Structure formats: C-alpha cells, structure tokens
Structure 1
Amino acid sequence: MDFDVIVIGGGPSGLMAAIAAAEKNKRVLLVEKGPKLGRKLILSGGGRCNVTNRKPADEIIKNIPGNGRFMYSPFAEFNNEDIIAFFEKLGVALKEEDHGRMFPVTDSARSVADAMISRLDKLKVKIYMKTPVKRVNYADGEVAGVTLTDGQDITARSVIIAVGGKSVPRTGSTGDGYAWAKAAGHTITELFPTEVPITSSEPFIKSKVLQGISLRDVALSVLNPKGKAIITHQMDMIFTHFGVSGPAALRCSQFVIQGLKKFAVPELTMTIDFFPDIAKGELEQQVMQLVKDNPKKATKNALKSLMQERMLLFLLERAEIDPDADCISVAQKKWQSFLETLKKFAFQVNGTLDFEKAFVTGGGVSVKEIVPKEMQSKLTPGLFFCGEILDINGYTGGYNITCALVTGRLAGVNAAIR
C-alpha cells in the first residue's frame, strides 16, 4: 500500500503534521500505537489544554531553555499567532489567561483534540489505531516507508516521526522513535526528565514537617558549588514528602539535573527568598518594627503576619529562637540569623523524580542535524521530525505545545512538498 506521507504518532505534533500534509492534497497515513488519538493533548494544562502562549517570539524563546534559539527560524514560517488562527478556524474559540497562556473557551482539552480529529476526517486522512510501527525503512540513503509489527510494509516518500519523548509514558511516549532516528544516523543527546518535582533527603523533608506548605511568589534558586545562582525562578512552590514541587520547582528541575552532572556532586544547594520584592534592609526594618511594637508578645504571635504559622515556627526554630519566648528576650544575633533565613533559606537537593512524573523530556534528536525551516533530516532525505522527540524543551505555560504544533506544521507541509 502506498502513501505520500506517513506520520507516526497521534499526539499534538503528529495530528498537526497529518493535517498540514493532507491540506496539500497528499495521501496521508497516520499511525498510532495506542487506542486513542491526542492522549497527551487531552491531559495537557490540567485537562484544559494550554494550546499556546501569546507572548512575543523573543519572550517565548526565553521560556524554552532547551535549544530555544533553534525555534527562531520555524517561528518565521508558522508562529503562536498562526496557532491561534488555526484553532479559531477549526471553531475552537480561545481566551488569554495569566502570563499569556491561551486556553479554549470551553476549558476542555477534549474540544481541541476533537476539532483536530474531525479536521483529519474531513481531509480523508487514513488512520491506523492500535498499530505499533516496528521500524522505519530506508533505501539508497532515503526514506522508503515503514514496517508495522504485524510485518506489513507500507511505502511512502516522506515519513514524519512524531512519537514524543519518554515523559508521561502512559500516553504512549515510551521512546520508540530514538532507535529509528539512530538507524538514520542521527545523534540522540542525553535524555532526562524535566518540568519534574525535585527530591531532597534533608531531615526536615524526611520528617515531613513542612509537607503540604504552599509558598506564593517566592524566588527559588539553584546554586553552583561556589554558591552562585545558576537559575532563579520567582513563582509559587510547595513542600512535599520527597522534596519540592510547584511551578518554581518544575522550572528549576533541569538545572538541578544538569548541575549534579556538570559538577559531579551528589547534592546541590537550593535557596528560597521568601520576600523577593523587598530589599534586605527594608525587610529587616519591617521585622524589627514588629518586634519593637510587641516586646512582651511571644515571637510566634508578634510575627504571625509574616507568613503561615507552620513555616514561621520552623524558621524561628532554625534560627534557634523559641517561638514562645517574649520578643524582648531574644538576642540580636538570633534575630540576624532569622532575617538571613527569610532572604536565603538554604537546603540540599539530590535529583528529581523520573520520567513517569515528568511533564517534558529533555534531550532527544540533535537539532544540529535538522533543517529548521523544514524539520527534515539533514542526513536522510524524506525523514522528518517534530514535537518532543527533538532536543527542544520549554517550561510549562504553553511553550512545549507551541514547539510541538509549530514543528508539526512545518514537518507536514514540507513532507507533502517533497
């Protein structure tokens, strides 16, 4: 059986690639090993599907720490505004939320997936479900088609690998595509889970004394062994029974993994600035004014306006201040120690959770071997890559799906042109 284009993988980038190729009046086959299309799409954005981000291209690229610069060229062809227009044309009205995040007005990821699947139907794309691909076939240095696990050979002039990375394996992203890329001579850069909670074996983590405490708008930093910040993210976070999670921690996670490896150390220091928008001197004045105004009050009562009680008690004890002692009885040296902690609460971390819990895969098919305006392999004509299999990774907030949809669009259009 012959097709012009075969797309392997029915996630966001695969669906977009199949639509783009079919819109060029090509015979397109979409092969998905699972029972449903768009499984990762349906889970994304907490089931609401954050389809893209409306920030300017430069801002979007700043939020793609893994090879974001590669995306300049693709964005010149198809960008976030084009994604918005694409969905609105499919009848999916979008709304903008905080930090430029774009969601369907329905607040349902299902409406996004359904619109894309119904577009595939209209374009008469042939779809094979529950059909694993055994290998991608090459002949004379070019793509020749695919062999399915049942032994069936299907030929095509263009094959698009859109099978995702290794994160959220329950959606079918189990890393199948890396072997097919290697067979075509591609380099796979080291894979690691990212946008993933961070682990720590600190006694206070193990004893769960802070478990469940959420912190709003704090500055979380990863330090190098010399104590200099590698990265800082000012967002919300939460203490867990294994370490730290929440938006700030997820964004710091890849820097923890890379730092442990780069510096060959078992642990790195992270710090929290509980009041990132208040200068140290000003914070000191505010705290000492509370102490001065309440000399006879227990420290925990005098300072209760600072933060939630469990966190405050922990920080007072860490500075060796008795929470029940009168403010006036606490030595100045101990107050200094407490103030230091408010601006720089340090703790050790030793890694992250695994791919099972990660939102995104770091590493993948080296972008140096891909033509950015086409998503075609520089090594094997007719082979295209899109989505998370590529060594591109962004923060959560619509950045990864933007990359998936943009690279999917370019792969589909150029596979069809070929």
Structure 2
Amino acid sequence: MKQQLLQRLNDRAAIIGVVGLGYVGLPLVLRYAEVGYKVIGLDIDQAKVDLLQQGKSYIEHITESAIQLAVDRGFEATTDFTYAEQADALIICVPTPLNKYREPDLSFVLDTMDSLIPHLRVGQVVSLESTTYPGTTDEELLPRIESRGLKVGNDIFLVYSPEREDPGNPNFTTRTIPKVCGGHTQACQDVGVALYGQVIDRVVPVSSTRAAEMTKLLENIHRAVNIGLVNEMKIVADKMGIDIHEVIRAAATKPFGFVPYYPGPGLGGHCIPIDPFYLTWKAREYGLHTRFIELAGEVNSAMPDYVIGKVASALNQRMKSVNGSRILVLGIAYKKNVDDMRESPSVFMMEKLRDLGADVQYCDPHVPVFPKMREHHFDLKSIELNALSISQFDCVLLATDHDKFDFTLIEKNAQLIVDARGKYLVRADHIVKA
C-alpha cells in the first residue's frame, strides 16, 4: 500500500484534500494545484466555499487570479466531507486557539477528525498542520483513525507537519519555506516526505510526530520569549529616558551574537500569543512548571495595558481625560501590511479605550470594515486619513505601522501621537513613545 501511494504522489496522480481553507490551507491548495495535482478543499464555512468556486479571494495577499487559475486546473471547494474519500492525502489546517482558561482548545482539530473518520480508507495519508502540544497526533488522531479498523503505518499513514506561513512576507512563499515533517512510523515518514517534497523546495524529516510538534512550539516560544524580553527592556528604558528603538538599532550593528527583536503593544496572530500555552499546559502532565515561558507570557500580555496607560498619561499632561476624548487607532491587523486580525492587540486596546469612555475610531487600509469576530464587537469602518480628519482627534494611537500610512501627514496634523511601534525616530513634543 505504501508503494502504491508513493507512486501516486510522485507521479502527481494523487488527489490532495486540504481541510480548512484559511491563511494556511489556501496557500497549500494553490501550490498543489500549481504543480498539477487535483485538489479538493474542505471547509465548514459555506461563504468561503462559494467565493472560491467563483474564483474570488477573501485573503488580501492571495490574488483572485491565483484562485481562478486553481479552479481552472480542477480545484473544487466544498462543505461536503464525503469528498474526503476521494482524496489520497488529507491535510488538516484548522485553528487551535485557547479557551477562556488559557488552555488548549483542540475542538476544531478533533471535530474535523471526527467528520473525516467515516470517509477514511486504505491508501490515504493524513497530515496535521495545526499547531499543538507534543503528543496530539499520536494521542488524539491515531486512536480515532484506528477505530476505523485501519492500521496506521500499513493501511493508512499519519504525519505531523507544522505550518510555517508568514502572511505578508514577500521574501518567503509556501514553496520556499522549509517544511518539517514527522511520521508516526518510518513508512508514515516516507509518505509524508513524498507528499510535501513535490511542492516544497526542502523537507526536513524529524524522528517522530512529537519532535515535529515540539519544533513548531520552540520556533514560536523563541520569538515570544525574546519579544517579552525586549518589551520589558522597553519599560526600563522608558523610565530611564532612553529610546529602546535607538538602543536596538545600535545593538543590531553587532555582526554576531545578537538578533534584533522589537517591542510593541502586545503579541498578535494565530501562533505567538497562543503556542507557548500549549507547551506549559502539556508540561504540567510531566510535573514541570515552565516558569521562563510563562513569565514572558505575562510580560507580553501586559503590553496593551501599558500602552493604554501611556495614552492616559499623555492626555492628562494636556489637561484631558480618556473619558470623552476622540482617539484614532492606526492599524488593527496584528502586524503590518496584512489583513489578519487574529489576537490583534489593537482590538484589545480599542476595547479598553471604549470601556474608559473614549470615542474610538480606527484607520486600517487592509481592513476597511471591522469584521465579525467571536469575542470582539465594533460597528465601525476605517476612516479616511487626511489633514482634517487627523486633526480632529485628541490622540492618534499608532498600533500597527502599515507601509500604506503617510507618517509625515500624520505627524504634521495630529494633536498627539502615541507611538507603540517606534516608527517616529525624531523626538517631538506631541509624540509619546509607548
């Protein structure tokens, strides 16, 4: 069975099923279609499926021409999970958020797997790409698959290969980002490498699904811890009257032993604010307390409140209170030049300002209308930036420094700027670093 599947993958005769058509799944769809595979996309969101079938995009950096080309090459999107039986490979790309107790929420992964189970068959490979704690693949997916009477490693194959998408980064694509892959058995590993080797320039095999799961966590915990460090340094530097961004720029001139990380208003996105908690939760099962990781999480989680404190202080110095002030938040995506708002600190800050009585508006050229979100609700549209509109706000909070913003226009016309991104290098009386 393994040889037959390998042959179909290597000949590009295999049918690829991608489950979850978001920021991770959709680029995979396009890449597999690009090299000639027949691709089926599965998603529970009918609106997404309808747009894809019409050749339209709902993700800013993915063009409609790319989607239409995939459709022309045979790509089909559907909410009907019976289509999974047609696929030789099922790649699961669904969210893994945290619940209200900051514990792993695997409901999307497990519900997806339960929906696929009735349609699994001999000769398939199942790959999980969702970020999760070490052990998820063999503790949760393996028994579900084998409940169908399929022997993993003989009848069907199981791998874990963490996603590494970086939306908005022009220097890396799905094809050029190396792909880590760990199989439940050696046969699973061989199939997983063949699955991804056809569309990714470099596949990096590791010894197990757990090693692959831990690799993804290490990558993002590394970033979270270093961002936590530089956020704490920012607070210390500010108290001492030192510009932390100047310090980082100077330190970055050292050609070895230093990697620059930059402070901000908090962590955002679907990985860095969430992934560390997956490991800290799992570590408790082994009687371990990940103090270093959790401390970084505390520092980063406190950043939105720190920035709001800087806003309040800056307004107070101008004989104004937050209550009743008109405040413009610049950038509500979690990072620059994307439309992705997952876990965006901008949204948390908007809520805090609203709760304090401020009249909050926003401008984000990548998010023209505030979207429907599970936990955050604003009936707002992005305002147009011009000299008059900027001047009418008591405070402009620079939360996400999109390249599309005219920072000179903003500086010239704003009464007060609270800069949470270190964009303004030259000191000015109406600019406050946060």
Taking structure 2 as the reference length, the TM-score comes to 0.27
Of the two structures, which has the highest relative contact order with CA contacts closer than 8 Å and spacing of 6 or more?
1
Report which of the two structures shows the higher radius of gyration computed on alpha carbons: 1
More strand as a share of residues: 1
Taking structure 1 as the reference length, the TM-score comes to 0.28
